[in-house]
C-alpha cells in the first residue's frame, strides 16, 4: 500500500513527490506514461552530444525567490537571458517589440519619447480588452499586430487571435526602450546540468518509487494507494464525460547541422512565413560548445500529446465544470498545467505544487510511520 500515487513526473508531480517523501516521510509511487521523468521540461543529450529539449525550448524565469530557493536544492544555475528575433518583412527584428524593432523595421531614428507618440498615433481604442487581438491593437496598432502577432497566433493556436483570451498575447510585453530580453523577471537562469538532472536529484529519495511507461488507467485498480495526486489532463481523468477540453499540440522536428552556429539567438520566430512557428538553437541556451549544432522546429497541430490549454471563454467554462466534479473527489488533488487547465510557466507550476503541499500539510496529519527528521533528504 503506497501512501500516495502521483500521476505524472513533470514539475507538478515531481515537486509533490519530493515534498511528501522528504517532509512527511510517506511513501510515493510516481508514475508517468512516458519513458522518462521531467514531463515537458525533459532534456537529453542527442547523438551529437548536444543537450536538447525534447519538447521545445524551456527557459527558466521567475520573480519568486522562494521558488528559486526551493529548486536550488537540486541544481546549480547557468546565467542566461533569453533573446528572441522575429523574421518580419525579410528582417530579423527584436520581439518583444522595442525601440530597435520599430527603428529597423521602418528605417527610423525615433527616441523612446517619440516611439510613445508613434504608438499613441497608431493604437486603436478598444472599449474593453477581451481578446488576444484587443491587447495588441490597443497597444501598438493594427499594422504591427498583423506583422508580428496575427500570423504567429493563427499558426500556434489554429484560431484567430480575436477568438482567444487576452492572457495569450498579454504574455508578450511592448517596450519603448532598447531592452531586448524576452522576459523581464528578476531571475533568469538555466539549470546548470539540465532539467532532467535536476529532476533526478529531486526524486532521489528512498520513499519515492518511479514507474515509467505506465498509464494511470493500467494501475488504478491494481496498485493500492491511500491518496492520489493527478497532473494529467482533467477531462481524461473523468473519461471526457462532459466533453473534450481542447489542448493544442506541437510536432517537433529535431535536426543537427554540421556547422557551429545556425542563427544569432536561441529562438527565431516566424510570424509571416513558414509552417513552423519558431526555430530553437539549443547551444545558446546552455552555453555548450560543440562543432555541430542542434535545432528544433515547432509545427503546431491539434493531434498529439496535450501541451497547451487553449485559453478561450468556452474552454474555461467547460474546465470550471470539470473543476466542480473534482471538488467531489476527496483524497484526489489536481495539480499542474493539464489538470488545472492553466497556461502556466514552469515556475508557476512549482508555486502551485508547493501551495498544494502546504494545503496537504494543513489538512492531512502526516503518517506516523516514520519521524520526519529521520527521512528529510540531505541537500
Ligand atoms: P507536464 O510537464 O505536462 O507533466 C505531466 C506529465 O503527466 C507528463 O509527463 C505526462 O506524460 C504525464 N501524464 C499525463 N497523463 C497521464 C496518465 N494518465 N498516466 C500517466 N502519466 C500521465 N515554461 C517556462 O517556464 N518557460 C519556458 O520557456 C517554457 N517553454 C515551453 C515550451 C513548450 C513547447 C511547452 C509545451 C511548454 C513550455 N513551458 C515553459 C511550460 C512548461 O512546460 C510547463 O509549465 C510545465 O512543464 C508543466 O508541468 P506539469 O507537471 O504541469 O505538466
Ligand atoms: N506571439 C506572437 N508572436 C510572437 C510571439 C508570441 O503572436 O512573435 C503570441 C502567440 O499567440 C503566442 C503568445 O503570444 O502563443 C505567447 O507567446 P509565448 O512566447 O509566451 O509562447 P510560448 O513560449 O508559451 O509558446
Query: What domains, with CATH codes, occur in the chain?
Result: 2-47+67-76+192-243+310-363 (3.40.50.720), 84-170 (no CATH)
Separation between Cα atoms, residue 251 and residue 299, nearest integer Å: 5
Tell me if 247 CB under 6 Å of ligand 2.
Answer: no
Q: Are 5 and 228 in contact, with CB atoms under 8 Å apart?
A: yes
Site to substitute for ligand 2 among 84, 163, 169, 311, most atoms within 8 A of C-beta: 169
Establish whether residue 345 lines the binding site of ligand 1, counting it when its CB lies within 6 angstroms of any ligand atom: yes
- Residues with Cβ within 8 Å of 256's Cβ and at least 6 positions away in sequence, in order, are 46, 47, 48, 50, 292, 293, 294, 295
For ligand 1, whether the C-beta of 17 sits within 6 Å is no
**42 dihedral zone (left: phi>0; alpha: psi -120 to 50; beta):** beta
pTM of the model: 0.96
**CA distance linking residue 206 with residue 184, whole number of Å:** 39
Calculate how far, in angstroms, residue 123's C-alpha sits from the geometric centre of ligand 1: 36
Residue-level pLDDT at 377: 33
Question: Contact 41/14 with Cβ under 8 angstroms?
Answer: no
DSSP state of 259: S
Ligand 2 neighbour 169 (Cβ under 6 A): yes
10 CB under 6 A from ligand 1? yes
Sole residue written with cell 499542474: 336
Ligand nearest to the CA of 188: 1
| Ligand 2 pocket residue status of 280, Cβ below 6 Å | no
Of ligand 1's listed atoms, the one at least distance from the Cα of 34 is 11
pLDDT of residue 138: 98
Residue 66: in which H helix or E strand, if any? Answer: helix 65-71
Weakly modelled stretches of the chain, pLDDT under 50: 370-379
Q: Which ligand ends up closest to the CA of 101?
A: 2
pLDDT at residue number 368:
52
Q: Return the H-helix or E-strand segment holding 301.
A: strand 293-301
- State CA 57 to chain mean position distance: 9
Residue 365: the pLDDT is: 86
Residue carrying C-alpha cell 497566433: 153
Question: Integer distance in angstroms from the first to the last C-alpha of the chain?
Answer: 28
> Residue 331 has what pLDDT?
92
Phi and psi of 126, rounded to 5°? -120, 120
Q: 164 CB under 6 A from ligand 1?
A: no
The rounded distance, in Å, linking the Cα atoms of 197 and 69 is 17
CA 129/CA 135 separation, integer angstroms:
6
The per-residue pLDDT of the chain, averaged, comes to 96
Among protein residues, the one whose CA lies closest to atom 34 of ligand 1:
56
Ligand 1 atom showing the smallest separation from residue 61 Cα: 25
Strand partners, 95: 84
Return the pLDDT at 366.
Answer: 78
Q: Which of 41, 96, 156 to mutate to test the pocket of ligand 2 (most atoms within 8 A of CB)?
A: 156
For residue 152 and ligand 2, the question of a CB distance below 6 A is answered with: yes
**Cβ 208 vs Cβ 296: under 8 Å:** no
What pLDDT was estimated at residue 53?
A: 98
C-beta separation of 49 from 230 below 8 A: no
DSSP state of 221: T
Is the beta carbon of 174 within 6 A of some atom in ligand 2? no
Name the residue of 153, 248, 312, 348 to mutate for ligand 2: max ligand atoms within 8 A of Cβ: 153
349 Cβ closer than 6 Å to some ligand 1 atom: yes
Give the ligand with the smallest distance to the CA of 338: 1
CA-nearest residue, atom 44 of ligand 1: 346
Ligand whose nearest atom lies closest to the CA of 8: 1
Q: Give the Å distance between the CA of 67 and the centre of ligand 2.
A: 24
Measuring from atom 8 of ligand 1, which residue has the nearest CA?
39
Q: Would the CB of 33 count as within 6 Å of ligand 1?
A: yes
Beta carbons within 10 angstroms of residue 206's beta carbon: 9
Give me the helix-helix angle, 99-106 and 112-122, nearest 10°.
Answer: 70
pLDDT of residue 356: 98
Amino acid at each position: 500500500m503506497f501512501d500516495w500515487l502521483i500521476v505524472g513526473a513533470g514539475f507538478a508531480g515531481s515537486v509533490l513527490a519530493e515534498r511528501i517523501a522528504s517532509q512527511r516521510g510517506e511513501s510515493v509511487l510516481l508514475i508517468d506514461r512516458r519513458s522518462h521523468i521531467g514531463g515537458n521540461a525533459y532534456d537529453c543529450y542527442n547523438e551529437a552530444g548536444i543537450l536538447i529539449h525534447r519538447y521545445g525550448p524551456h527557459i527558466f524565469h521567475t520573480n519568486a525567490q522562494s521558488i528559486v530557493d526551493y529548486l536550488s536544492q537540486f541544481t546549480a544555475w547557468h546565467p542566461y537571458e533569453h533573446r528572441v528575433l522575429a523574421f518580419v518583412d525579410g528582417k530579423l527584428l527584436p520581439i518583444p517589440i522595442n525601440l530597435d524593432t520599430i527603428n529597423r523595421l521602418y528605417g527610423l531614428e525615433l527616441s523612446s519619447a517619440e516611439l510613445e507618440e508613434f504608438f499613441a498615433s497608431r493604437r486603436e481604442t478598444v472599449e474593453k480588452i477581451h481578446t488576444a487581438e484587443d491587447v495588441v491593437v490597443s497597444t501598438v496598432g493594427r499594422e504591427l499586430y498583423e506583422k508580428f502577432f496575427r500570423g504567429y497566433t493563427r499558426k500556434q493556436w489554429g484560431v484567430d487571435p480575436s477568438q482567444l483570451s487576452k492572457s495569450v498575447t498579454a504574455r508578450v510585453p511592448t517596450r519603448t526602450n532598447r531592452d531586448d530580453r524576452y522576459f523581464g523577471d528578476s531571475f533568469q537562469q538555466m539549470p546548470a546540468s539540465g532539467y532532467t538532472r535536476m529532476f533526478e536529484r529531486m526524486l532521489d529519495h528512498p520513499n519515492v518509487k518511479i514507474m515509467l511507461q505506465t498509464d494511470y488507467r493500467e494501475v488504478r485498480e491494481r496498485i493500492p494507494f491511500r491518496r492520489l495526486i493527478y497532473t494529467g489532463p482533467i477531462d481524461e481523468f473523468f473519461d471526457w464525460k462532459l466533453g473534450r477540453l481542447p489542448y493544442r499540440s506541437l510536432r517537433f522536428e529535431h535536426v543537427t547541422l554540421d556547422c557551429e552556429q545556425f542563427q544569432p539567438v536561441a529562438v527565431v520566430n516566424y510570424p509571416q512565413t513558414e509552417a513552423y512557428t519558431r526555430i530553437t538553437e539549443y547551444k545558446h541556451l546552455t552555453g555548450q560548445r560543440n562543432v555541430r549544432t542542434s535545432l528544433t522546429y515547432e509545427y503546431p497541430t491539434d493531434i498529439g500529446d496535450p501541451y497547451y490549454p487553449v485559453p478561450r471563454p468556452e474552454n474555461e467554462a467547460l474546465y470550471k465544470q470539470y473543476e466542480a466534479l473534482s471538488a467531489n473527489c476527496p483524497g484526489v488533488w489536481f495539480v499542474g498545467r493539464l489538470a488545472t487547465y492553466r497556461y502556466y510557466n514552469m515556475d508557476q507550476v512549482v508555486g502551485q505544487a508547493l501551495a498544494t503541499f502546504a494545503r496537504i500539510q494543513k489538512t492531512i496529519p502526516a503518517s506516523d510511520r516514520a519521524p520526519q527528521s529521520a527521512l528529510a533528504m540531505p541537500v
